[in-house]
Structure 1
Amino acid sequence: MKKFLIILSSALALWSGACFAGQTAQARFYCLSVHLDRGEGGASGWQTLDLTTLQDYGAINGELAPLFETYTHWSWFELYDELWELTYYGSLNVNKPAYKDANGNGFDDFYEVSQAVSATSSGVWQFEGSPTYTLSASWNRAAGSSVGTCVLNLSGYGSFTHTFRLLEYTGPLAYTPHLTTVTGRVDLVRTGNPEELFGGQVVFVKSPTNRFNLLELQPGAWTNASGQTLVYTNDFFTRESPWVTNYCGYVEFDDGDPNTPDDADYYLWVLSIDDMNDSDADGVPDFSDDPVILPPRRPVLQLAKGMTNLLLQIGGDVGRLHQILEATSINATVWTTNRSLVLTNDPQTVSLPIPPSPRFWRVRAF
């Protein structure tokens, strides 16, 4: 019987192309527009009030849209008098309730479904071609509910009671950090309606001068529950003290509701990303931290003799490059690469020919 000597060894090699670990952060996504259903009431009690940001008469979308001026929100309206069967057109500007942050997370409770709202605000309104009058708004919503009540009191014209709705989604953001970018996917579920899904791919570019705290969301597109594609543009995201695990910025769609005619509506949203992952415990979440290059696991080798060949079993990290090296002397200064492979299983078996003379093998992981 022919005898032969086989010695196995394993080694590690650091490779600049090593994979970075994927992580998962939690996302909350909400629209700065508020939806108001048709309001009823008025001076006679037989009037209705519909809000819309669509230009065509009779086109109603219920949107109270952000304004960023003297008042926080605006809308056109159609006021219908059921007794006289007349429709009046006008516009209104109104403030949302004053900023309040009961849970101290840096976000306005008005837009946070988990927080209750009971407050008043003020504004102005006018019919087309008429003077401006004042209005008051009373807002009430229970904690945990995305639906509340808004009473709009138009001075001289009575009060209208509306149901208002927050548009909020939550879900995981799975991401992979890179040296200058962060890539990932967000999968969101609407609060109060788990069958309504929204999400897609995201790419962030880190600021070269403030990479831990400033990132730019790149243009992209998400898919809504109806399978429609919503395209968004680039916007900046910031990480600020004292909420050092949070990244926040706008997502601005070309049109947030493709089902309404022509005009862009419900287009401006806020994406909040909360990342508790901090692999190196340096106080910077993995989302924007310099990625840690994880070394490969040291290969574990086993050898068995088959009828006509040798079976080398390699235990190691799936997806990593492994090199099988061989030499005729354990003290050889040059080892020849027998083959290179990326592990698809752990362990993985490789067939080797039976050598005619003493042979030494080792496996190096990258």
Structure 2
Amino acid sequence: MKKLVVILISALVSRPIGLQAEQLAHARMHCLSVRFDYGWGPTGMERLDLTTLSDGINGELAPWYGPYSHWSKFELFDQIWGRRDYGVLLLNTPQFTDANDNGLDDFFEVSQPVSATSTGSWRFLGETNYHRLTATWTRAAGSPNGECVLELEGRGGFTHQFNLLEFTGAVVYAPGSNVVTGTIALVQTGATNNTLEGPVSFTKVDPDRFNRLELQSGTWTNAQADSFVYLSGLICRLQAWPTNYCGFVTFTDGDPSTPDQADYWWWLLAIEDPTDSDGNGIPDFSDAPVLVPPRPPVLRLTLGKTNLLLEIHGDVGRLHEILEADSVTASSWLTNQVVVLTNDPHIVHLPIPSAPRFWRVRAF
């Protein structure tokens, strides 16, 4: 009769390595351009359209680098005479306010209401002198759509509907010593079928690597599989709001649906990460990675018909090394095999030994 061999499993050993679990941060992105529908003048017979295109109408009131915050060309159509006049207008958006204290301009936040006026100037093409322009803005909290009355000196008020382009969602990221990588997934406020998603990579910028990161250029896609190519740009941590990061994202074309030319290209990305695993005041998004130790594996050994079944209970996706020796006091343990757990428990088949044998598992 064959003698039964008793198999023993030693005490377990585990040790951490530099594996960092994926984490989630809140993301919000808005276009610095404002989209305008056409507006009707006081007689109801004059129509005003805004555009930044050389040919065609895109409704864009775009950011400007001069004394005013925004600009646009316009087309003024007189339905009675069938006449079209063209010009340019310069306009400030309402003065910066931050009622919800997050470092962002309430005017561009859909969650915040707007009731304000701003000033600018306008002229027809061929004129040298500008005329006064006054804008009256109203928008309810929670709605991306509002009303703006553009009062053109000498021409009266034109009533427009305007729209803010805002996306909200999340960045799923893996912290890194020098590079933070992950994915972004955003949904347009007020138009949930419009999505934007893709990979992101942030390089920490020395010597202020916890507060300054450079978003590397890349491509995101929308629900229609249109590509949105963006350029690299600086993302900075806001010192007055230490869980918030903010920076510009420049698309080569922010709205492929408009005719030909690039437009709606300048956006502001805000990332909020309240997670601070080591409690040092720096969010995990830009902090040095915190090592996540593996869960100590738990083993169970059963006798099968032709082999032994070693059950390993531990973290799925982690590397586990199976060691063996002929004595529990052996100074040297040999590697039997290395496995990455795909299930919990993960089953490993071992041959039935002819002499006592000891196993232990080390998790990484």
Q: What TM-score does the superposition give when structure 1 sets the normalisation length?
A: 0.96
After TM superposition, give the deviation of residue 306 of structure 1 in Å.
1.7
Aligned counterpart for 2:13 among listed residues 2, 11, 14: 11
Give the 3-state SS of the residue equivalent to 2:107 in structure 1: helix
Superposition pairs for residues 116-195 of structure 1, below 5 Å?
116-130=113-127, 131-195=129-193
2:232 counterpart letter in structure 1:
N
Runs of 4 or more above 6 Å deviation:
none
Equivalent AA in structure 2 for residue 53 of structure 1: T
Q: What corresponds to 2:27 in structure 1?
A: 27
- Return the alpha-carbon distance in structure 2 between the equivalents of residues 225 and 333 of structure 1: 59
Q: How does 1:201-220 map to 2 (within 5 A)?
A: 201-220=199-218
- Match of 2:28, as an amino acid? R
Counterparts of 2:290 and 2:163 in 1: how far apart (Å)?
43
Q: Which amino acid aligns with 1:30?
A: H
The match for 2:71 among 53, 71, 74 is 74
**Deviations 1:230-260 (CA, angstroms, capped at 9, x unpaired):** 1000000000222111111111000111222
CA distance in structure 2 between the aligned counterparts of 1:296 and 1:212, rounded to whole angstroms: 26
C-alpha distance in 2 between matches for 1:45 and 1:345: 69
Matched residue SS, 1:245? strand
Equivalent runs, 1:167-316 vs 2, <5 Å: 167-316=165-314
Which residue is equivalent to 1:48? 47
Report the Cα offset of residue 72 of structure 1. 0.4
RMSD: 1.2
| Structure 1 residue 224 displacement after superposition | 2.0
Question: What's the CA shift string for 1:47-98, capped at 9, x where partnerless?
Answer: 0100000012xx0000000002200000000000111110000000011111
The AA in structure 2 aligned to 1:46 is: M
Deviations 1:202-228 (A, max 9, x none): 110111311111000000011123321
For residues 187 and 304 of structure 2, the distance between their equivalents in structure 1, rounded to whole angstroms, comes to: 54
Q: Deviations over 1:152-200 (max 9, x none)?
A: 1110111100001100111121111111111111111111111111121
1:258-282 per-position Cα deviation (integer Å, ceiling 9, x unaligned)? 2222321100001111111111122
How far apart are residue 315 of structure 1 and its match? 1.0
Match of 2:96 among 73, 95, 99: 99
Aligned-partner SS, 1:121: strand
In 1, Cα distance between equivalents of 2:335 and 2:134:
80
Code of the aligned partner of 2:50: L
Counterparts of 2:142 and 2:190, CA distance in 1: 9
Displacement of 1:115: 0.6
Task: Quote the offset at 1:339 in angstroms.
Answer: 1.3
Identify the match of residue 339 of structure 2 among 316, 338, 341: 341
TM-score of the superposed pair, with normalisation by structure 2: 0.96
Aligned-residue sequence identity (percent) comes to 55
C-alpha displacement of 1:5? 3.4
> How far, CA to CA, are the matches of 1:11 and 1:101 in structure 2?
53
| Partner SS for 1:162 | strand
Which residue pairs with 1:61 in the alignment? 58
CA distance in 1, matches of 2:95, 2:172: 34
**Across the two proteins, how many residue pairs are aligned to each other?**
361
Shift of 1:136: 0.7
Aligned to 1:37: 37
Unaligned 5+ segments in structure 1 are: none
SS of residue in 2 equivalent to 1:138: strand
1:88 to 64, 69, 85: 85
Letter of the 2:244 partner, please give it: N
The CA deviation at 1:325 is 1.2
